[in-house]
Structure 1
Amino acid sequence: MRDKEIKEAVKERYSKIATKEESYCECSCCGGESADMVIQQAKAAGYTDAELGSIPEEAVFGLGCGNPTALAEIKEGETVLDLGSGGGIDVFLAARKVGDKGKVIGVDMTSSMIEKAVENVEKGGYINVEFRLGEIEDLPVESDSVDVIISNCVINLTPDKSKAYSEAFRVLKSGGRILVSDLVTEGEIPEEIRKSFQAWSDCVTGAMEKQDYLNTIKNAGFREVEVLEEHFFTEPNMDERLVTKIVSVQVRALK
């Protein structure tokens, strides 16, 4: 697979999700077939009813494999960056934590998702958030300008995770922190699945082996890389060859 082809496949998939041309896939990081299923998927990822009820309904796609805002210890007045912000669920939750003196920036490479997120800004009347079109391997963000970086089941989608983490390190202030919810693997993934564009956009093919993933973060310059939580990731329709091989991790690291 070529990086450009992977990105186009992922972008096409998430554009369809944003515009509701496609509303169901087997991976909970991709969206549900009904409003109730979307909410259930979001709750399964770690969001509470109170959190989901505090943001625009259209910001919730049932995407994600964790709730990074719950573990990032976001403080009032901080600047937060969300890598792969989608419809804005984590941006809007972070916005409540940073308050009027803080700021939250969401970056997504899918224009349809950015359009949806901007609509949600207007619906929610947010004044401390901003969405930017861009790739996480080439962030449209100034160096040393962010206190906290969050991301939810997105970095596994990029072909160049080393570049993504190097960019995260670049934009983060000294002493800043990153809290990422993502999928990794334990054990070999069958080659035919590895070669599948569908599986890549389902957050499976691009997942790295767990220790390699943690080493990638360390090699980007981060220190105190720590797995805060982890559990096997399963879905009712998951290929049986993947059971006990896909792991959801919540990783924190410091600059």
Structure 2
Amino acid sequence: MSCCAKKSGTECCGADKSTAQTSETAIRDAVREHYARVVTSDKSGSGDCCGAGSCFAPNTDQNYAQKLGYSADDLAAAPDRANLGLGCGNPIKVAKLQPGETVLDLGSGAGFDAFIAARAVGPTGLVIGVDMTPEMIEKATANAQKSGHKNVDFRLGQIEDMPVESGSVDVVISNCVINLVPNKRKAIEESYRVLRSGGRLAISDVVTNVELPEDVRRDLALYAGCLAGATPVVDLQEYLKSAGFVDIKISPKDESREFIKDWAPGLKLEEFVVSAHIEAKKP
């Protein structure tokens, strides 16, 4: 039983576990509904029911963000409500962004990482955010307009089929999103396609070194909560290598288990899932 089912029934995550089908369409629908609810709630966590922190229940506390690797300057510079507390790391910390670069943020949400990246690449650079949830795109675009950011461009689309020109991006970043994608291999291939030669991938996501229990993998609430879709490290390495990436580096962060245990209290999924920095380059 998922944490949502334990607390208030499955209505909070848009998935009835007893009848849920883990098809690609069902996964996308559950994820889209969950994050639309997150971004349209009046206060952090409204409409969600799974405890403090994470992709399940947003945690916008500055201490949590700093544990993920964000600085006080990052938090101060982000527009109001851009930080929805949905990450599991800080991909920008390892991306080593340079002025003038074009950055693509996969699953850009309300724009938190995109705005931090926009500051790093400066007015001569560009940050493209792609998200499949219309409400997220609307919120991110409003944040950009209110804050006066001119070098961000938020686009509606799936990251397995991105509305981005081939070979047009210097860096691909993402924060706790690849796990939410049904076709992870295709998402990695798309990331490779849009990168220029010499471009790099720098993402934070959840991974696993063991096979998750079947009841967890089939639970759409846990999938939307960034747990059931955690990618096995060996599979992720194969996806990256098969797409053509080189200099692949996957660095699990054991300390992340301390906050992952709060994502689904009592289920002990921190024994299976850990956050990691994932880096690779396109030759």
Is 2:33 the partner of 1:8?
A: no
* Equivalent residue in structure 1 for 2:249, among 196, 212, 226: 226
* Equivalent residue in structure 1 for 2:142, among 105, 108, 119: 119
* Equivalent residue in structure 2 for 1:242, among 250, 256, 269: 269
**d(CA) in 2 for partners of 1:229, 1:50:** 26
| Correspondence for 1:209 | 232
Output the TM-score relative to the length of structure 1.
Answer: 0.94
Identity %: 46
Q: CA deviation at 1:228?
A: 4.2
* Equivalent residue in structure 2 for 1:105, among 97, 116, 128: 128
**d(CA) in 1 for partners of 2:249, 2:206:** 15
Superposed counterparts of 1:68-147, under 5 Å: 68-147=91-170
SS in 2 for 1:137: coil
Q: CA deviation at 1:245?
A: 1.2
Runs (4+) of structure 1 exceeding 4 A deviation are none
**d(CA) in 2 for partners of 1:9, 1:98:** 34
Unaligned runs of 5+ in 1: none
**d(CA) in 1 for partners of 2:270, 2:150:** 43
Q: CA deviation at 1:103?
A: 0.4
**d(CA) in 1 for partners of 2:252, 2:138:** 33
Output the TM-score relative to the length of structure 2.
Answer: 0.85
**d(CA) in 1 for partners of 2:185, 2:155:** 21
Is 2:218 the partner of 1:190?
A: no
Q: CA deviation at 1:24?
A: 5.1
Contact kept in structure 2, 1:69 and 1:150, CA below 8 Å: yes
**d(CA) in 1 for partners of 2:198, 2:269:** 37
| Correspondence for 2:39 | 18
Contact kept in structure 2, 1:169 and 1:221, CA below 8 Å: yes
Moved more, 189-198 or 234-243: 234-243
**d(CA) in 1 for partners of 2:121, 2:187:** 24
What amino acid is aligned across from residue 79 of structure 2 in structure 1? P
**d(CA) in 2 for partners of 1:137, 1:39:** 32
Contact kept in structure 2, 1:107 and 1:133, CA below 8 Å: yes
What amino acid is aligned across from residue 276 of structure 2 in structure 1? V
RMSD of aligned Cα (Å):
1.6
Contact kept in structure 1, 2:128 and 2:153, CA below 8 Å: yes
**d(CA) in 2 for partners of 1:115, 1:156:** 23
**d(CA) in 1 for partners of 2:49, 2:100:** 37
SS in 2 for 1:22: coil
Contact kept in structure 2, 1:31 and 1:61, CA below 8 Å: no
**d(CA) in 2 for partners of 1:47, 1:23:** 24
SS in 2 for 1:57: coil
Which string of whole-angstrom CA distances, capped at 9 and with x for unpartnered residues, describes residues 52-105 of structure 1?
111112101001111111110000000000000001011000000111111000
Superposed counterparts of 1:41-60, under 5 Å: 41-60=64-83
The change in CA–CA distance for 1:96 and 1:73 in structure 2 (over 3 A counts) is: same
What amino acid is aligned across from residue 279 of structure 2 in structure 1? R
**d(CA) in 1 for partners of 2:272, 2:153:** 36
Contact kept in structure 2, 1:65 and 1:182, CA below 8 Å: yes
| Correspondence for 2:8 | none
Which string of whole-angstrom CA distances, capped at 9 and with x for unpartnered residues, describes residues 172-225 of structure 1?
000000101000112232211111110000011111211211221111111110
Unaligned runs of 5+ in 2: 1-21
**d(CA) in 2 for partners of 1:43, 1:29:** 16
The change in CA–CA distance for 1:4 and 1:228 in structure 2 (over 3 A counts) is: same
Contact kept in structure 1, 2:261 and 2:269, CA below 8 Å: no
